Amino acid sequence: MTPHTAWYSEAAKIDVRVRGAEEVVRVLNGEPPRAPANQI
């Protein structure tokens, strides 16, 4: 995950962290990631 400045706001800083953590939990639970960087 590499951020860029177009998303920057206080709300977005929180949202990107929450979404990242949710994706980690999702994958650790055996579910596929919502937006994989590579083909699975």
DSSP state of 24: H
Note whether 23 and 15 are within 8 A (CB).
no
- The pLDDT tens digits of the residues spanning 1-40 come to 555 666 678 888 899 899 999 999 999 999 999 988 887 6
User: How many Å apart are CA 26 and CA 6, to the nearest integer?
Assistant: 26
> What is residue 2's predicted lDDT score, i.e. its pLDDT?
59
User: How many Å apart are CA 31 and CA 13, to the nearest integer?
Assistant: 25
User: How many Å apart are CA 11 and CA 25, to the nearest integer?
Assistant: 21
